[in-house]
Amino acid sequence: MKKMRLEAGLTQSQLARMVGVSQAHIAKIENEKVDPRLSTVNKILEILMNKKRRKCSEIMTKDVIVTSPKEKIKNVARIMVEHAISQLPVLDGEKIVGMITEEGIVRHLSPDLSEEPVEKIMEPPLPSVSDDTDLVTVRSILESHPGVLVMRKGRLVGIITRSDLLKVL
pLDDT at residue number 168: 65
In whole angstroms, what is the distance from residue 13 CA to residue 41 CA? 16
Shared domain check, 62 and 93: yes
Report the first-to-last Cα separation within the chain, whole angstroms. 23
- More confident position, 25 or 55: 25
pLDDT at 100 over 70: yes
Q: What is the dihedral of CA 149, 84, 61, 102, to 10 degrees?
A: 0
Same domain assignment for residues 92 and 28: no
Domain extent for 46: 2-52
Contact 64/158 with Cβ under 8 angstroms? yes
Query: In the chain, how many domains are there?
Result: 2
Q: Give yes or no for residue 169 having a pLDDT over 60.
A: no
Q: What is the 3-state secondary structure (H, E, C) of the chain?
A: CHHHHHHCCCCHHHHHHHHCCCHHHHHHHHCCCCCCCHHHHHHHHHHHHHHHCCEHHHHCECCCCCECCCCEHHHHHHHHHHHCCCEEEEEECCEEEEEEEHHHHHHCCCCCHHHCEHHHCCECCCCEEECCCEHHHHHHHHCCCCEEEEEECCEEEEEEEHHHHHHHC
Same domain, residue pair 159 and 105:
yes
Residues 39 and 68 in one domain: no
Q: Is 12 exposed, middle or buried (0-12, 13-18, 19+ CB in 10 A)?
A: middle
Per the CB < 8 A criterion, the answer to whether 75 and 123 are in contact is no
pTM (2 d.p.): 0.68
AA identity, residue 1? M
d(CA 121, CA 113): 9
CATH label of the domain that carries residue 44: 1.10.260.40
Whether residue 24 is found in the same domain as residue 100: no
pLDDT, the chain, mean = 90
What CATH number should be reported for the domain holding residue 71?
3.10.580.10
What is the predicted pLDDT for the residue at 92?
Answer: 95
Both 143 and 89 in a single domain?
Answer: yes
Where is the domain boundary, 52, 71, 94?
A: 52
Per-residue model confidence as pLDDT tens digits over 66-93: 999 999 999 999 999 999 999 999 999 9
% of residues, the chain, pLDDT over 90: 62
Is residue 110 located within the same domain as residue 70? yes
Same domain, 61 and 48: no
65 and 43 within one domain: no
The more confidently predicted of residues 3 and 115 is 115
Query: Residues 34-55: pLDDT tens digits?
Result: 988 888 888 888 887 776 667 8
